Amino acid sequence: METVEMNSVSLKRPHSEDDVANADEIKRQKISQKSKTGNDSEQSIKTVTEQPDKSLLEDMKNEIIPNELSEDQEDEELEDSDEDGDPESFADMMKHGLTESDVGITKFVSSHKGFSGILKERYSDFVVHEIGKDGRVSHLDDFSVPVDDEVNFEDPPEETFTILSEEDKQRLEELQLLKNKETSVAIEVIEDTKEKRTVIHQAVKSLFPGLETKTEDRDGKRYIIAYHAAGKKALANPRKHSWPKSRGSYCHFILYKENKDTMDAINVLSKFLRVKPNIFSYMGTKDKRAITVQEIAVLRITAQRLAHLNKCLMNFKLGNFSYKNHPLKLGELQGNHFTVVLRNITGTDDQIEQAMHSLREIGFINYYGMQRFGTTAVPTYQIGRAILQNNWNEVMDLILKPRPGAEKGYLVKCREEWAKTKDPAAALKKLPVKRCVEGQLLRGLLKYGMKNIISAFGIIPRNNRLMYIHSYQSYVWNNMVSKRIEEYGLRAVPGDLILKGATAVHIKEGDVDNYTIHDIVMPLPGFDVIYPKHKSKSDC
């Protein structure tokens, strides 16, 4: 088993555009560890005994955050109100969640007595930085907007984002989403100058993709008229003619977020940008109850529009913008760097030292962690298994049925209504946040009917749907690893894939044992798992 030395990496916490370069680094203890390699990503872990410096939320608590959207205003308040809360109530909810044994984690690398503590008592106790394929750790440290080489193209001026009133924005959004009974929206030009009209034209076209504008005189007044140029197909599609050929089609950026998982964050960004969530891509989903930093890519949205969100959103910061010709794909990352605070330690000094020594000298079994499987009594792997079995009624039931665990109150009411009536319309009324998985499935059931669950399920964004499959894959991996450790311990045996330097090699079949891991757990067809060199996938 090779020893992998993890470099110490500083944690940079953004405060503002002016002082981000001088942000204090969190002090932490450097540990080297031996890691057992499986199909999971390489991970670097830091443990600290002090509280990280104050959160972005605390930095911004006195700022006035403008409300960009009047629709779903209550949604935003509900989403953003889920902060630390009462640690005891969160812990109580988590008692109804899963244990390690529920997800196949049953073996340990050593037999010493462990110690207990509270993980994630505060969301700021768990800090994650993504590690890219090139080994670089993601940090948010640059808020500048890149300048295009193509001089004929100009991003809209800053006034574009503020010139429209909230009432105008609501009318335009209803028109964009085809909810407006009128065929157009008229915006009166108060200060009738060519410059002012130009800014209004730019604002409508930039903020509401799919709408066109023209200028009209009515009763002696000047109006900007917004209308649909290409119907439903134009909705949320970037304006192709305004995108420079020399610019990459995807804007990559670093997203810093607090206390919100990646998919919820994408939903918030897409709502404020008024685009569809499926134009975003990322390499991995990050924990909700945490502070996380990761790379995101979005199709044909300018860095300027993204940077404007820093003035509109709490618990988010976007920066390190660049234009590239490719999106991001799940699993492309090398791993994640964690900084973890454990509180209320109950072990003795000897027990803690023994555990830390074991971590340094022996390492850990490379299981998929608990965050892969959800925080309620219905694990995500069960939904993934039902999908693979084409049991769509069970998929619908598992996603929507009531369950104990860490959930918001409106989700509990929605589930109760569903259990009582099986009426998607009635359940949806209990759910103010429509962009969550439950809301998307209910909207799909309303659109396609209860007899067409597959189409209804298809409304959920692809990455969310893949999450269930990946969860089941992770569940299979954990069980396979536990049974392999139970059978062979930590010694390498034929069929294993191990690291020697930077090269992955199989342990070849020999006279030691003819018993392979495939006799313990059968891999799923189509899953990217480790196969022994002497066997082909078709044999399994």
Q: Cite the DSSP H helix spans in 148-224.
A: 166-176, 194-207
Under DSSP, the state recorded for 421 is H
Show the tokens assigned to 192: 């009738």
Q: Please confirm, yes or no, whether 287 is among the known catalytic residues.
A: yes
- Taking the C-alpha atoms of residue 494 and residue 415, their distance in angstroms, rounded to an integer, is 48
- Taking the C-alpha atoms of residue 411 and residue 514, their distance in angstroms, rounded to an integer, is 51
b/e 391-417 (16+ beta carbons within 10 angstroms → b): eeebbbbbbbebbebbbbebbebbbeb
Asked whether 92 and 373 are in contact (CB, 8 A), the reply is no
- Taking the C-alpha atoms of residue 505 and residue 245, their distance in angstroms, rounded to an integer, is 44
**Non-local CB neighbours of 322 within 8 Å, separated by 6+ positions:** 146, 248, 251, 252, 253
**Non-local CB neighbours of 529 within 8 Å, separated by 6+ positions:** 39, 473, 476, 477, 480, 523
Question: 40, 75, 261, 287: which one is catalytic?
Answer: 287
- Taking the C-alpha atoms of residue 453 and residue 15, their distance in angstroms, rounded to an integer, is 45
Token look-up 């440290």 returns: 141
End-to-end CA, the chain: 27
- Taking the C-alpha atoms of residue 417 and residue 419, their distance in angstroms, rounded to an integer, is 5
Asked whether 323 and 305 are in contact (CB, 8 A), the reply is no
Crossing angle of helices 462-488 and 380-388, in 10° steps, is 100
Tally Cβ neighbours within 10 Å of residue 297. 23
The three state secondary structure string of 236-256 is: CCCCHHHCCCCCCCEEEEEEE
Asked whether 255 and 99 are in contact (CB, 8 A), the reply is no
Q: Which residues are catalytic?
A: 287
